[in-house]
Amino acid sequence: MKTLAIVGASGHGKVVADLAELCGFNVTFFDDAFPQLKQVEHWPVKGSFTDLLTQQDCYQYAIVAIGNNAIRSKLSEQLIESGFNLPVLIHPSAIVSQYAHINEGSVVFANAVINAFAQIGENCIINTGAIIEHDCIIANGVHLSPKVSLAGATKVGAATWLGIGSVTKQGIEIGANSIIGANATVLNNIPSNVTVVGSPAVSK
């Protein structure tokens, strides 16, 4: 069986570990935050991120399971530069169109739906029950929280985070590094580097 090195042994890391097992991997964690940690649930913690970078000969596959979009993107780039393969993990209950495209290092959790001609960037989190309609373009490092619904042809810029239950009107463009609050309704384009909340969503 293939082994997947997962960077980040927090709550999100455990969900990714569960998903990785469903996708046929053995799981080993690497985590910088708790150097003394040897085990999380039944999964071993073998060392830090730096330790992993020196063990490319042992671990062909690796993925970053850290919720912070900027950190996840940065560490994922380092893994790719060091020669690791970053798989795409898709939960068996997710529905992904044969015409959708998902790039390396992205995870798609239970009951998510990704419709025809949607494009998902690298190292994205498509969380539980998220819906990505036709022709959406999701850039690298985006996190769609549980139950986010993107109407057709929505564009989301790199490293933007959409909070749980937020929704967009069709054709909306959201910039990079922005935060869309939980339950927000996005009816107008949103620039980069802002936080918006409410219905309709406005700057906080």
Ligand X SMILES: CC(C)(COP(=O)(O)OP(=O)(O)OC[C@H]1O[C@@H](n2cnc3c(N)ncnc32)[C@H](O)[C@@H]1OP(=O)(O)O)[C@@H](O)C(=O)NCCC(=O)NCCS
182 touches ligand X (CB under 6 A): yes
200 touches ligand X (CB under 6 A): no
- Contact criterion met (CB below 8 Å) for 177 and 105: no
Write out the two tokens for 96.
Answer: 């992904």
181 touches ligand X (CB under 6 A): yes
Contact string 160-179 vs ligand X (x = CB under 6 A) = ---xx--------------x
195 touches ligand X (CB under 6 A): yes
- In single-letter form, the type of residue at position 94 comes to A
Smaller CB separation from ligand X, 153 or 197:
197
Q: What are 38-47's contacts with CB under 8 Å, separation 24+?
A: 40/9, 40/13, 40/14, 41/14, 41/17, 43/9, 43/14, 43/17, 45/9, 46/5
Identify which range of 36-44, 57-65, 108-116, 193-201 contacts ligand X by CB under 6 A. 193-201
- Known catalytic residue: 134? yes
State the catalytic residues: 134
Binding site for ligand X (CB under 6 A): 127, 145-146, 163-164, 179, 181-183, 195, 197-198, 204
